Amino acid sequence: MKPKANIVNLPVYQPGKPVEEVKRELGLSEVIKLASNENPYGCSPKAKEAIVAELGNLSVYPDGSAADLTAAVASHLGVDKKEIIFGCGSDEVIALITRAFLLPGDETVMADQTFSVYKTNADIEGAISIEVPLVDGKHDLDAMLAAVNDKTKIVWVCNPNNPTGTIVGEEELVRFLDAVPSHVMVVLDEAYNEFVTDASYPQSMKLMDRYKNLVILRTFSKIYGLAALRIGYGVAQAEVIGLINRVREPFNTGRPAQAAAAAALRDQAFVNECRRLNAEGISYLQKEFDRLGLNYFPAHGNFILVDVRTSGKEVFQHLLYKGIIVRPGFERYPNYIRVSVGTPEQNQAFIGVLEQVLRNVKTPV
């Protein structure tokens, strides 16, 4: 069978290696995964209780409109229920946006090293991706604005940016939104927003009424610790959500996921504690990188992109053999690895192994 020509050369997304696979392949009994920006503290006990309560309903289709969860998120964010759409992770919401709004030949603007799913889905729709270089690991909003033209349909801003972890502040974001033509959609991906402690970070929900072309993405996979249940959401004007809903498959989020997400929202004490512990982990890792003489980007999510001064893929392999899984392979940053913030014990183990690896890996002159 002959596939669509525009998908033949698409890269296949490579997730972080699973712990069990690494144990089997390398004969290891203990493995620490710091590759996928998961919450090392799991999820709220309230979410677990909600999942257990749903086990008797596994033969019943979920609510296709996710009514209870929609009401919970709307109340939490202070938005209208008609302004929310859920997906199988925010990844699916990204796919739905491109399906609903991009035609072959349309243009979409993004950073040159950001969440790869934006470009992949644009490619699937036959759109042209204009990739604007990051500056010091941060979105260059002025250059992105200059790239907008009559063919531009969507601009993507990942905040904090994955994989660099940098943020765009509210003042610069507002200046950007003021200048972007109203017919161009701006997708603000805030998957890691709950981890941010910087006071300059945008209060994006308050911008919704002012900028009708703004779409905000959030997820329950990160700080809420529900990655396995695959549930995320988008917030936008009701008219925009209505259009995206037209291309959404029915029952695209499951009953346990909906129930767990609603319960997780009710446990903000858990979220606050995870944010505090994550900030402590970032501080520890940055101090250790300073001690080792390694440069890194300012971290505002639950991960750090650090320069290991040699092939990131090579360092990844050496770490893997010692039971530490990180993320290498970033095109614009080949000498970097991305490490998720773990528990104190995991962070300390990673630093210990990294220090050993760097002593034994030849650093290019």
Summarize pLDDT for 31-45 with one digit per residue, the tens. 899 999 999 999 999
**Is the pLDDT score of 291 beyond 60?**
yes
What was the pLDDT predicted at 170?
Answer: 98
What are the tens digits of pLDDT across the range 262-280?
999 999 999 999 999 999 9
Model pLDDT, residue 27: 79
Distance CA 206, CA 204 (A): 5
- pLDDT tens per residue across span 334-348: 999 999 999 999 999
SS (H, E, C) 291-336: HCCCCECCCCCCEEEEECCCCHHHHHHHHHHCCEECECCECCECCE
Instruction: Report which of 131, 215, 213, 139 is spatially closest to residue 172, judged by C-alpha positions.
Output: 139
| pLDDT above 90 (res 29) | no
Helix runs in the chain, H state only: 19-26, 45-54, 67-77, 89-101, 117-124, 141-146, 170-179, 238-245, 255-265, 268-291, 312-321, 344-360
pLDDT at residue 365, as a whole number: 36
Average pLDDT taken over every residue of the chain: 94
If we measure between CA atoms, which residue out of 348, 317, 338 comes closest to residue 165? 338
Q: Which domains does the chain have, with CATH numbers?
A: 5-42+269-360 (3.90.1150.10), 45-266 (3.40.640.10)
Mean pLDDT of 154-175: 98
In whole angstroms, give the CA distance from residue 267 to residue 363. 46
Which tokens is 77 given? 């964010």
Contacts 24+ apart (CB under 8 A), 27-30: 28/323, 30/323
pTM of the full structure:
0.94
Tokens of 121: 């889905």
For residue 10, name the pLDDT band (cuts at 50, 70, 90). low
Q: What is the pLDDT of residues 172-231, one digit of tens each?
A: 999 999 999 999 999 999 999 999 999 999 999 999 999 999 999 999 999 999 999 999
364 has pLDDT over 50: no
